[in-house]
Amino acid sequence: MEGETSWVNNCFENPTRDIGEFDSFSEHSDEGNKEVNAISVDLILPDDLLERILACLPIASIFRAGCVCKRWHEIVSSRRFLWNVSHVLPQKPWYFMFTSSDEPVGYAFDPILRKWFGIDLPYIQKSNWFIASSCGLVSFMDNDSRSELYVCNPITKRCRKLQEPPGLKVSDYSALAISVNRISHGYTISIVKSKLGSGNFFQSDLSIHIYNSETRMWVTSCTEVMTGWRGGDESVICGGVLYFLIYSAGGGTTETRHGLIRYNLSNRSSHGLLIRSFIKVPCPLTCGRLMNLNEKLVMVGGIGKQDRPDIIKGIGIWVLNGKDWQEIARMPHKFFQGFGEFDEVFASSGTNNHIFIQSYGAPALLVFDINQKQWKWSQKCPVSKRFPLQLFTGFCFEPRLDMAP
């Protein structure tokens, strides 16, 4: 199919070519080379039972299993195996960290094996592209013309280029989001575009554009002129609702530097968008990061000082209930200090029950497990900062073999 590439079979034939392990950074020793006296499972287990067992392995271990023998390779490459994989418990999300400001190179962290893997992202050309993920699929859009838009599975490398989004050809701010239906595997992509008014920076033109993978068509569902506010680059789809942060265009207080807009994607009326759907943020923020955790809207925000709201003093995590924010965690001071010099803005993303937080100025990665209420540093990323202005950023995604754009 034009615009779509797939080399999942190549991944299984030679997984070390595209997923390279850094065992020296692992907390686990490799027991695979030890000789043990055991009966081969090939002599005991039928194919269907072996498939179910292999489907429960971490994604990286499945790639290894495909190299064991011809029989196992055929099993993990089969359609029936992909069906089994899709019916086991979801994998813990991986976090891909860009380790270069100029090129889209980096490593992905697996929190199950606590290892970093070197993987290549297809088509993406720079680390500052807009990126959003959902249920194993990742969408990314170029930051220059904002006309190149792709959806891919970073594990299997299957990728599709979408038609150019409609609306403003040049926008000052854009926010990208994707939501995948876990049953049908169809997906919805939204882009919120915002352009400051010519000669009047207190006004901005805002538009919302929606793509449906089933119809393969874009629809411009909302256009509105905002006064005193502008759009930004932070948005997420949660429970059929699009949420995006807006930012004060000037003249407001420190309490209103940020705001949240709630937009029902089934709604085709744009009249009074701000009046009907504006939600205040819980406190003065230096920045906010939105994420969908089990169909709950969660925000990770930098908490500003009372007298200097542009200076970060801590990081909080909130969940939205109706129009009210409930604080569910605050980063302990020892972890906050562990980042070293922390800017007022930072990278953070999450899915399922895990939230990842990193500073732009260092490769340190902190993981928060919402269920366990536990903060934990990731295994050290196999890269060091080479020069003072080197920047790092990243995003998380579910590692899945069964999802295709």
pTM above 0.95, yes or no: no
Distance CA 263, CA 207 (A): 12
Q: What is the pLDDT of residue 14?
A: 42
Cα–chain center distance at 336: 22
Report pLDDT digits (tens) over 382-400.
988 888 888 899 999 999 8
CA distance 116 to 171: 36
Distance, CA of 198 to CA of 362 (rounded, Å):
38
Cβ(320)–Cβ(327) under 8 Å?
no
pLDDT tens per residue, range 328-364: 999 999 999 988 877 889 999 999 999 999 999 999 9
User: How do residues 70-98 score in pLDDT, each as one tens digit?
Assistant: 888 887 777 777 777 777 767 899 999 99
Is residue 194 classed exposed, middle or buried when 0-12, 13-18 and 19+ CB atoms within 10 A define those classes? buried
Evaluate whether 103 touches 383 at the Cβ level (below 8 Å): no
Place of tokens 């039928």: 46
* Residue 21: pLDDT over 80: no
Structure tokens at 68: 């064991």
Q: How far apart are CA 7 and CA 158, in angstroms?
A: 7
What is the rounded end-to-end Cα distance, in angstroms, of the chain? 12
Quick one: average pLDDT of 171-200?
91
Task: Give the per-residue pLDDT at 22.
Answer: 35
Decide if pLDDT at 258 tops 50.
yes
Does residue 272 carry a pLDDT above 80?
A: no
Beta pairing partners, 130: 141
Q: How many residues does the chain have?
A: 405
What integer pLDDT is reported at residue 19 of this predicted model?
40
Q: Does position 202 have pLDDT exceeding 90, yes or no?
A: no
How far is residue 5's CA from residue 201's CA, in Å, rounded to a whole number? 43
Domain range 4-24+42-86, CATH architecture? Up-down Bundle (1.20)
> Residue ranges of the domains in the chain?
4-24+42-86
| Residue 226 to residue 193: CA distance in whole angstroms | 12
Burial class (CB in 10 A: 0-12, 13-18, 19+), 392: buried
Answer yes or no: is pLDDT of 35 > 70. Answer: no
Handedness of CA 155, 161, 162, 168 (dihedral sign): positive
Q: Report the C-alpha gap between 312 and 304 in whole angstroms.
A: 5
- Chain centroid to Cα 103, Å, comes to 19
Tell me the C-alpha to C-alpha distance, in Å, between residue 237 and each of 120, 231, 234: 26, 16, 11
Predicted local confidence at residue 279, as pLDDT = 92
**Confidence (pLDDT) at 213:** 95
